[in-house]
Amino acid sequence: MDTILSLEGVGKIFPGAVALSEVSLSIARGETHIILGENGAGKSTLIKLLAGIYQPDSGRIAFNGQPYQPKTPHDAQQSGIRIVHQELNLLPYLSIAENLMLESLPRRAFGIVDRKALNSRAVALLREVGLDIDPRTRVEALGVAQMQLVEIAKALSYDSKLLVLDEPTATLTPPEIERLFSIIKRLKAKGVTIIYISHRLHEVFEIGDRVTVLRNGRLVATRDLHGLSVPDIVRMMIGRDIADEFGFDARVVPGKVALSVANLKRDASTPEISFSVRHGEILGVAGLVGSGRTEAMRALFGADPKLDGVVEIDGKPVAIAAPKNAVRHGLSLLTEDRKGQGLLLDMAVDKNITITDLSKIARNGLLNRRTEAAAANDLVGQLRVKASSIEQAVRNLSGGNQQKVVLAKWLFRGTSTLILDEPTRGVDIGARREIYQLLWMLAAQQKGIIMVSSDLPELMGMCHRIIVFSRNRIVGELARSDFDQERILSLAYQEYVRP
């Protein structure tokens, strides 16, 4: 095997936690190597070592036969390793071309940027990744998928020998993923070595040659993907089987209508939509990213303004002009952007939980810290939030535990209907399953649950009923007995393929 990158006994220790220990791995030149693992398994630490963001505490890394010890991300780039991080690092107010060649803009005399050369080189790079856009377009005008491709084009512009893609499909829709995969295959055909990090198991079979699974900072195994199955990999990732991760509970039977929305109109250009959810029902909301599902939920909740529409709770019309009205009527919104909109990241677990209703832990405006701690400990135990104590800052919890804290804060307030937007994004399999169980517990308590998700198997596994958004419209509704992936997808695309 012609090895391009080899790791020997690589370890990284953080105060109090071993992030990576004794990892030995070799990547063959020209292969597409998949790295899998739950959150906290050590994937991101590994990438940061390659990127020169962290330095290993033990072990050796060799790249192209030479010792590889990058001190900074710049060093890594110089050696020919290029990393496309999960969080994109483009400058929104510059053009695509400028972003692509930021580190070495073509120049004329006196350091003036040579626009012609800049744009023509950019066009060539964009063609490599199959993007047909004017390179003078500002990056802010692009969709996430396009930005991702620009990042990859940028990586290619440096003649990279090794391309590391960190969860590139996390925010992409199925056709965008297909396009990305065809580009990856093309790059591979040209001899570029690719390390591909993901936790979407199903997709890795299409592009990967070999897979390495990490668990608890250790390497579990490196295997040929050929001949492996999804359950095989899951077993390697979590060390045991997961029979049915969703745990659909047939004993939970939907009752009366909890929340109904009639003729909700966000603004003059969007169509009216109507839907409802029953007590004890889990209603799935499917659709592409940008199809108006998130926007509809936010408008319903009063988070964004709406033009028109009637919201009824238990048959009674209620006026919702701001989130505080919605909350008062028993609605809860778990936002898509958990860190940006759901949590007080630098505050402790207990303070995050009680923020929804401080009057419960106060008398005459004075806080009772003991009552607060008791209430928080109670919920932390009930939801099995893994934190060192309720005084730990939420920032330092894993994605799954952060999501549990968001759930806990709404349970603290007391809620009759929950709207969850992408509740398991960035949550590892183990915690995901616990969140599903919690949702079933809430459904059994006759709460209405609206679940917005891009993960179709998740919706089909969890929901009693699914409504499908396509270009701001609700284009279909399916009962559980009619669930069919193909059908839901074709509904989701319906309004986009028509002229």
Partner 1 sequence: MSETTEIAVAAPVSPGRAKFLRFLVRDAGVLLALVLITLFFSATAPYFATSGNALKIFVQIAINTVLAAGMTFVILTGGIDLSVGSVLALCTVVGATVMINESLSPAVAITLALLACMATGAVCGFLNGWISTRWKIPSFIVTLGMLNMAAGAARVVSDNSTITGLPQSFVDFGNLIIGGFLPSIFLVAVLVIAAGWFVLRFTVFGRMIFAVGTNDEAVRLSGHNPDFYKVAAFTISGLTAGIAAMVYLLRLNIGSPIAGVGYELNAIAAVIIGGTSLSGGKGSIIGTLVGACILQVLSTGLQLLGVGDNFKPIVIGLVIVLAVILDAYRERLLRKIR
Residues at the contact surface with partner 1, assessed by CB under 8 A: 15-19, 38-41, 215-217, 238-239, 301, 303, 322-324, 326-328, 333, 335, 340-347, 351, 355-356, 358-359, 362, 365-367, 384, 386-389, 391-393, 395-398, 400-401, 409, 413, 428, 430-431, 434
Q: Write down the least CB distance from residue 427 to partner 1, Å.
A: 10
Q: Write down the least CB distance from residue 239 to partner 1, Å.
A: 6
Across 102-141, b (16+ Cβ under 10 Å) vs e yields: eeebeeeeeeeeeeeebbebbbebbebbebeeebeeebee
- Return the number of the residue (133 or 362) whose C-beta is nearest partner 1: 362
- Return the number of the residue (94 or 348) whose C-beta is nearest partner 1: 348
- Return the number of the residue (269 or 359) whose C-beta is nearest partner 1: 359
Q: Write down the least CB distance from residue 361 to partner 1, Å.
A: 9
Sequence-distant (≥ 6) Cβ neighbours of residue 370 within 8 angstroms = none
- Return the number of the residue (409 or 464) whose C-beta is nearest partner 1: 409
- Return the number of the residue (217 or 280) whose C-beta is nearest partner 1: 217
- Return the number of the residue (281 or 422) whose C-beta is nearest partner 1: 422
- Return the number of the residue (136 or 324) whose C-beta is nearest partner 1: 324
The amino acid that residue 47 corresponds to is: I
Q: Write down the least CB distance from residue 333 to partner 1, Å.
A: 6
- Return the number of the residue (161 or 386) whose C-beta is nearest partner 1: 386
- Return the number of the residue (227 or 365) whose C-beta is nearest partner 1: 365
Q: Write down the least CB distance from residue 252 to partner 1, Å.
A: 23
- Return the number of the residue (130 or 247) whose C-beta is nearest partner 1: 247
Q: Is 217 left (phi over 0), alpha (psi -120 to 50) or beta?
A: left
Q: Which residues pair with 473 in a beta bridge?
A: 470
Q: Write down the least CB distance from residue 87 to partner 1, Å.
A: 18
Q: Write down the least CB distance from residue 281 to partner 1, Å.
A: 23
Rounded (5°) CA angle 437-440-446: 155
Q: Write down the least CB distance from residue 154 to partner 1, Å.
A: 30
Q: Write down the least CB distance from residue 2 to partner 1, Å.
A: 34
- Return the number of the residue (28 or 242) whose C-beta is nearest partner 1: 242
Q: Write down the least CB distance from residue 371 to partner 1, Å.
A: 12
The amino acid that residue 359 corresponds to is: S
Q: Write down the least CB distance from residue 314 to partner 1, Å.
A: 19
Q: Write down the least CB distance from residue 29 to partner 1, Å.
A: 32
3-state secondary structure the chain: CCEEEEEEEEEEEECCEEEEEEEEEEEECCCEEEEECCCCCCHHHHHHHHHCCCCCCEEEEEECCEECCCCCHHHHHHHCEEEECCCCCCCCCCEHHHHHCHHHCCECHHHCECHHHHHHHHHHHHHHCCCCCCCCCEHHHCCHHHHHHHHHHHHHCCCCCEEEEECCCCCCCHHHHHHHHHHHHHHHHCCCEEEEEECCHHHHHHHCCEEEEEECCEEEEEEECCCCCHHHHHHHHHCCCCCCCCCCCCCCCCCCEEEEEEEEECCCCCCCEEEEEECCCEEEEECCCCCCHHHHHHHHHCCCCCCEEEEEECCEEECCCCHHHHHHCCEEEECCCHHHHHCCCCCEHHHHHHCCCHHHHEECCEECHHHHHHHHHHHHHHCCCCCCCCCCEHHHCCHHHHHHHHHHHHHHHCCCEEEEECCCCCCCHHHHHHHHHHHHHHHHCCCEEEEECCCHHHHHHHCCEEEEEECCEEEEEEEHHHCCHHHHHHHHHHHHHCC
- Return the number of the residue (16 or 315) whose C-beta is nearest partner 1: 16
